[in-house]
């Protein structure tokens, strides 16, 4: 990819806030820089929204709500479908934009465009399937009408690691249900969401239905929006500590909330596992998105009889990985998002080594202008190591061992989180037991990736509440209304 192509793409990314169907400056003309983590160079300077700008965006969403809710489902469906088609037309632009602002290899960015686009297509189809029920009550005294109505104006706080898919996964069901939205993209990766807003505008979305406020002062912008009694829904993807604070804030107005929070996914390999599949699944579950995913396998819990072979085989695969800028040919590991992420990965590896773990490959930051960390495998990780408790969010594969099924389950469930788990076994009965015994909202059985637009995404325990995707996803944006009509 040439520097000229990158520059031409950046010139097509709006620099303003998107409020009420218009691209506008932030209050006082404030701006901030967006950086390429592979070089630390500034790639675009955009509007830095204030608390007042956030309320302006909510004003626009509130003003558009009634008309959008009354828009025929087929019309809403058609707009989402046109947005999907436009995403396909601009898939190369979106992929390059994500790689430049987030760092992931271009092949992975293309995969995210495909995945994120599917939410537009899926919910374009769900928009016309919102239904209720009608029938006589048991006493025969009245007829019951149960209907679904849009929740109302919604506020989305999206993360930096999947800039496109996290936007579409929230925006698409909200629009399908008839809700208007304000989106606050992550400060580190706002450009993809901004570009997507252009495509929604081109698809014919009415003014004010989607509003985008980029900012460097997240809490100052989010606080007044969440406190405003006109807001009816909050959806957040990010860390559990921040999610807890947002839930507390949302409780003041009894907002509907969806929270997709932290993860600490176990990857359990039983003694009878197909190791070819387990190794392949491990590479995807661990190193997809440079390990910067809430669904990333965080703890590899491997039966002691196969642990040595598993470690040897994944180490060989990791040694073949190419580290570099995501636009370069053959790169499979790009930079981490910032220097703090590199420092965290280094600290977790060092703590594990201090407690007795063995570094099989990698383990260090890479000196460069960007924020790179070597893809790493460590084995013999001991109980009490921080890496078994904290979310790594980096390309570090940490292996611990177990002796029997009960110990594997105990180790897998020994976390406050419960987003996803991965299990590799050829014993069908054991696989079914794991579905029941592992405390997670999702599970991959002999597979290293589970996400799909047609499936409900979400966790249990402190990994959050609510579901995104699948038929369940649209119900997060609908309220049930019951009406009784007396029988004459």
Q: What is the pLDDT of residues 44-54, one digit of tens each?
A: 999 999 999 99
Residue 488: predicted pLDDT: 81
Residue 243: predicted pLDDT: 97
Is 472 among the residues known to form the active site? Answer: no
The tokens for 397 are: 């594969």
Say how far apart CA 450 and CA 290 lie, in whole Å. 17
Residue 54: predicted pLDDT: 98
The tokens for 398 are: 């940490």
Burial category of 133 from C-beta neighbours within 10 Å (exposed 0-12, middle 13-18, buried 19 and up): exposed
Say how far apart CA 370 and CA 477 lie, in whole Å. 40
Other CB atoms within 10 A of residue 226 CB: 22
H/E segment holding residue 181: strand 181-184
Burial category of 7 from C-beta neighbours within 10 Å (exposed 0-12, middle 13-18, buried 19 and up): exposed
Catalytic residue among 260, 374, 405, 476: 260
Q: Compute the C-alpha angle 292/298/303, nearest 5°.
A: 150
**Band of residue 406 on the pLDDT scale cut at 50, 70, 90:** very high
The DSSP call for residue 206 is P
**Band of residue 3 on the pLDDT scale cut at 50, 70, 90:** confident
| 486 beta partners | 142
| 302 beta partners | 269, 401
Say how far apart CA 215 and CA 360 lie, in whole Å. 41
Q: Percent of the chain scored above 70 by pLDDT?
A: 100
The helix/strand/coil state of 394 is coil
**Band of residue 431 on the pLDDT scale cut at 50, 70, 90:** very high
The tokens for 226 are: 């969440």
| pTM confidence score | 0.96
pLDDT by residue (tens digit) across 351-380? 999 999 999 999 999 999 999 999 999 999
The tokens for 385 are: 């190591």
Residue of 98, 391, 46, 349 lying closest to 242 (CA atoms): 391
Look at the block and give the residue holding tokens 């703890």: 299
Q: Compute the C-alpha angle 311/423/300, nearest 5°.
A: 35
Catalytic residue among 112, 126, 294, 405: 294
| 461 beta partners | 417
pLDDT by residue (tens digit) across 68-83? 999 999 999 999 999 9
Say how far apart CA 178 and CA 232 lie, in whole Å. 13
- Across the range 118-131, mean pLDDT stands at 97
Say how far apart CA 436 and CA 439 lie, in whole Å. 8
**Band of residue 1 on the pLDDT scale cut at 50, 70, 90:** low
CB 168 within 8 A of CB 196: yes
pLDDT by residue (tens digit) across 289-343? 999 999 999 999 999 999 999 999 999 999 999 999 999 999 999 999 999 999 9
Is 179 among the residues known to form the active site? Answer: no
Residue 24 φ then ψ, to 5°? -130, 155
Look at the block and give the residue holding tokens 């921040």: 242
Mean per-residue pLDDT over the chain, rounded: 97
H helix intervals, 355-461 = 405-413, 428-437
The DSSP call for residue 468 is B
**Interhelix angle 51-70/218-227, nearest 10 degrees:** 50
**Radius of gyration from C-alpha coordinates of the chain:** 23
Sign, CA dihedral 152-158-164-166, equals negative
- Across the range 248-268, mean pLDDT stands at 97
pLDDT by residue (tens digit) across 144-183? 999 999 999 999 999 999 999 999 999 999 999 999 999 9
Whether 219 shows a pLDDT value over 80: the answer reads: yes
pLDDT by residue (tens digit) across 375-402? 999 999 999 999 999 999 999 999 999 9
Burial category of 108 from C-beta neighbours within 10 Å (exposed 0-12, middle 13-18, buried 19 and up): buried
Say how far apart CA 447 and CA 456 lie, in whole Å. 17
Residue of 123, 131, 117 lying closest to 78 (CA atoms): 123
Say how far apart CA 121 and CA 142 lie, in whole Å. 39
């Amino acid at each position: 990819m040439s520097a000229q192509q990158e520059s031409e793409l950046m010139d097509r990314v709006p620099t303003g806030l998107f409020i009420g169907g218009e691209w506008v400056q932030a209050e006082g003309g404030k701006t901030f820089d967006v950086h390429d983590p592979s070089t630390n160079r500034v790639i675009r300077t955009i509007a830095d929204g204030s608390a007042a700008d956030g309320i302006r965006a909510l004003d626009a969403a509130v003003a558009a709500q009634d008309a959008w809710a009354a828009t025929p489902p087929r019309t809403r469906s058609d707009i989402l479908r046109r947005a999907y088609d436009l995403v396909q037309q601009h898939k190369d632009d979106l992929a390059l934009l994500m790689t430049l602002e987030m760092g992931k290899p271009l092949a992975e960015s293309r995969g995210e465009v495909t995945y994120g686009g599917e939410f537009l297509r899926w919910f374009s189809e769900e928009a016309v399937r919102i239904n209720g029920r009608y029938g006589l009550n048991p006493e025969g005294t009245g007829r019951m009408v149960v209907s679904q109505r849009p929740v109302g104006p919604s506020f989305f706080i999206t993360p930096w690691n999947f800039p496109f898919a996290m936007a579409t996964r929230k925006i698409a069901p909200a629009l399908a249900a008839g809700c208007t939205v304000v989106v606050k993209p992550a400060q580190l990766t706002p450009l993809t969401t901004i570009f997507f807003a252009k495509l929604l505008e081109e698809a014919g979305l009415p003014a004010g239905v989607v509003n985008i406020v980029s900012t460097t002062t997240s809490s100052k912008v989010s606080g007044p929006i969440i406190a405003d009694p006109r807001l009816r829904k909050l959806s957040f993807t990010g860390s559990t500590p921040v999610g807890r604070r947002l839930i507390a804030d949302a409780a003041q107005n009894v907002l509907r909330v969806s929270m997709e929070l932290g993860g600490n996914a176990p990857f359990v390999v039983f003694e009878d596992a197909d190791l070819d599949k387990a190794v392949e699944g491990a590479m995807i579950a661990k190193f997809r998105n440079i390990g910067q995913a809430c669904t990333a396998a965080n703890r590899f819990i491997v039966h002691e009889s196969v642990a040595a072979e598993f470690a040897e085989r994944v180490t060989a695969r990791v040694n073949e990985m190419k580290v570099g800028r995501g636009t370069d040919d053959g790169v499979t590991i790009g930079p981490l998002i910032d220097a703090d992420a590199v420092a965290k990965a280094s600290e977790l590896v060092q703590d594990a080594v201090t407690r007795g773990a063995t570094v099989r490959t990698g383990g260090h930051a890479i000196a460069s202008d960007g924020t790179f960390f070597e893809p790493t495998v460590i084995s013999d990780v001991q109980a009490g190591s921080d890496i078994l408790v904290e979310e790594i969010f980096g390309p570090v594969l940490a292996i611990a061992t177990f002796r029997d099924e009960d110990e594997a389950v105990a180790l897998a469930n020994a976390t406050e989180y419960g987003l996803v788990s991965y299990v590799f076994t050829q014993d069908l009965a054991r696989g079914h037991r794991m579905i029941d015994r592992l405390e997670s909202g999702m599970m991959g059985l002999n597979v290293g990736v589970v996400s799909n637009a047609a499936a409900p995404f979400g966790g249990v325990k402190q990994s959050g509440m609510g579901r995104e995707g699948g038929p369940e996803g649209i119900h997060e944006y609908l309220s049930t209304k019951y009406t009784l009509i007396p029988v004459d």
